[in-house]
Amino acid sequence: MKNKKSIMIKIAIAFGILVSATLMMKKKDMSYRQSVLKTLYPMIMWSSHSSGIKQVLNNTQLLVPNQSLYNLHATTIEGTDFNFASLKGKKIMLVNTASDCGFTGQYEALEKLHQQYKDQLVVIGFPANDFKEQETKDNKNIANFCQKNYGVHFQLMEKSIVIKKNHQNDIYKWLSDMTLNGWCNQEPAWNFCKYLINEKGVLVNYFPMTVDPLDPIVIAAIEKKE
C-alpha cells in the first residue's frame, strides 16, 4: 500500500513538473502545442538526423526534366499569380510547410537560408494540411503566424495539397512525377520535405523533413557548382 502511494505521489510530481514546464514554454502568439514543439525541435532533429541522411535523394546523373518547371505557375499566399519562369538562373528550394508540426522550427532555418543566400537561392514554402491536420489555418493566419513567430520573409504560396491525391498542386505534381521532372517519384513523406532545383531548372535533390535546412549536406548542395 505504501509503495502504491509512493508511486502515485511520484506520478503527481512528474505531472506537475510537466504542466509547469509547458506553461513556462508558452510563447506569445503560439498555442501550448506550438510552444512545446518549438522548444523540443532541437531534440527532435538530433534524434532523427541519422535516419534522415539515409533518405536523401540525389540526381547524380543530372537527368533533365521532360517538362520545364519554368512553364508552371502558382498562387501566392497573398493571392497573386507567381510565374516560375521568373526564377531562371537561380537555385530554388521548395518546402511543404505546416504550423503545428514537430518540424515547424525549420521555418527559422529556412529564413536564415533565405537571408544568407538570397542572391543565388529562392526559398518558397507551400503550406499544406496533408499530414495529421497540422495546418488548419487559412492563408491569412498562416502568413501572420510565420511572420510573428519565425520572422519569415521568404515567399509562401497559398495553402494547397502537396501529396499524390486529387487536386495535388501543379508544382508538386512536377516534383513527384519522374515523367515530368526526369527522375524523381518521391512525394513529401511529411511536412518540411525539401526539394532543390538548380539554376537550369533541374531537380537535383530531395531532403526529408529529418534533415535540417542548415545541415552541411544541404549547404553543400546549395553551394555546389553544376
Residue 205 a catalytic site member: no
Question: What pLDDT score does 198 carry?
Answer: 98
Which tens digits make up the pLDDT trace of 36-64?
Answer: 666 677 777 788 888 888 999 999 999 99
Angle at CA of residue 216, ends 212 and 217, nearest 5°: 80
Which tens digits make up the pLDDT trace of 14-24?
Answer: 545 545 555 55
DSSP 193: -
Query: CATH topology for 52-223?
Result: Glutaredoxin (3.40.30)
**Candidates 149, 169, 181, 198; catalytic one:** 149
Question: What pLDDT score does 12 carry?
Answer: 58
Residue 11 pLDDT greater than 90, yes or no: no
**Can you give the residue ranges of every domain in the chain?**
52-223
Question: What pLDDT score does 7 carry?
Answer: 64
- CB-based burial of residue 22 (10 Å sphere; 0-12 exposed, 13-18 middle, 19+ buried)? middle
For the chain, the average pLDDT equals 89
| Out of 17-31, 57-71, 114-128, 133-147, least confident range | 17-31
Range 100-105 average pLDDT: 92
**Which grid coordinates are listed for 7?**
508511486
Instruction: Describe the chain by its helix, strand, coil percentages, rounded to 5.
Output: 40, 15, 40
* pLDDT confidence bin for 30, thresholds 50/70/90: low
Range 165-193 average pLDDT: 97
Task: Answer for the pair 91, 201: CB distance below 8 angstroms, yes or no.
Answer: no
